[in-house]
Amino acid sequence: MSINEMKTEYPIVSVVIEGYNELLDLGTAKDTLAALANKDYPANCIEVILVGTSAQVDKWKTQFSNTQFYGVKPFAADGINYYELKNICVNIASGQVFAFTDSDVTPRKGWISSGVEKIKQGADAVVGPSLFGNNKFHADNVLMRVAASIAWGFVIGENKNTNSLIASNMLSHNVIFNADSFRQFQFDANYGRTCSAVLLYKTLIKSNCKVALSPNQQTIHSFSWNWWIFQYHRRIGYEVYKLRRLDDSYPNKWISKTKLLEPLLTLMWHVLLDIPRWSRFSKALNESFLRRWLSFPVVVSLSLIARSSEMLGMYATLANPEKMRQWAENA
């Protein structure tokens, strides 16, 4: 295969990994890179962009001084937020495709190749299912799959005319872009750790860009029950409250007018949404029909736990908006 044929078949992919979550001891860039090196996409066609603090960069330069990748570019950016770290790639990445993940995430086989295939077919951005896993629970464990559906399943929708699965949102740790499309739009970093991926998806759709779903574009996010209940979903309570006021197309905006009832009504609505969401999510993962239906009691139980935490996060936002904003944008 000639060099030009190689570039056509395997375009250079710049994988952008921020060190923000590594600083919180949620995972390591080393594990993320190890996963990337053992996938079905040629490592010499993968450029790794590592963005973090000066101390992290000093460590990465030594740690990844000799790799099989097309290149590893550690870039120091002190004192900036999570989405600003991701946006830096537009100035230093050389790939035709940008793939975004986090330092507490390990991509599965097919993550890059399936996303690149959709980009070749004309997609501006590609999303896929994000899973959970840790040393105790494998990502294919039913508890982990249900927990992932409740947290991340909103990115998978359904075309009502064809009943086919479609991309209905995006996550910043599992999204692949045509590089030119990302350079045009980028993440809005004005909201710290929150809201920006959802707002970028809305911007792409309003601009008639194509956001595709690739079920094989799977990642495994590090997991603990403490983080899932008390940090992630508490932050989502703030984020939903904020998005309901920022996004003109956010569904059921009337709930924001119910004042003290808003968090409780949101809990009830989200639990109801989690049931069909699990159906779509499990379908994307090719779960058997029997396991999908037998899992519904688990879905309802975990949903009530997660959405209760969101409700408390939303009440905390109502009680002290500025304090909750500072916590959520840096959580």
In this predicted model, what pLDDT tens digit does every residue of 50-80 receive, in sequence order? 998 999 999 999 988 888 899 999 999 988 8
Scan for tokens 């003109």, then name that residue: 248
Look at residue 5 and tell me whether its pLDDT is greater than 70.
no
Which band of pLDDT confidence, cut at 50, 70 and 90, is reported for residue 29? confident
Q: pLDDT tens-digit profile of 207-227?
A: 999 999 999 999 999 999 999
Instruction: Give me the DSSP letters along 175-186.
Output: EEEEHHHHHHH-
Q: Report the candidate in 296, 149, 40 with the shortest Cα–Cα distance to residue 140.
A: 149
∠ CA 73-75-78, nearest 5°, is: 165
Residue 67 tokens read as: 């790799």
Query: Which tokens go with 218?
Result: 């799977």
Tell me the percentage of the chain whose pLDDT exceeds 70.
98
pLDDT band at 120 (very low <50, low <70, confident <90, very high): very high
CB contact set of 50 (below 8 Å; sequence gap of 6+): 17, 19, 29, 56, 57, 60, 64, 72, 73, 74, 75
What's the CA gap between 197 and 170, in Å, rounded?
6
What is the arrangement of strands in the sheet containing 105-107, beginning at the earlier edge strand? 105-107, 219-222, 130-133
> Tell me, what's the pLDDT at 7?
59
pTM of the model: 0.94
DSSP label at residue 228: I
- Rounded Cα distance between 256 and 240, Å, is 10
Q: Assess contact for 82 and 122: CB atoms under 8 A.
A: no
Q: Model confidence over 217-272: pLDDT tens digits?
A: 999 999 999 999 999 999 999 999 999 999 988 999 999 999 999 999 999 999 99
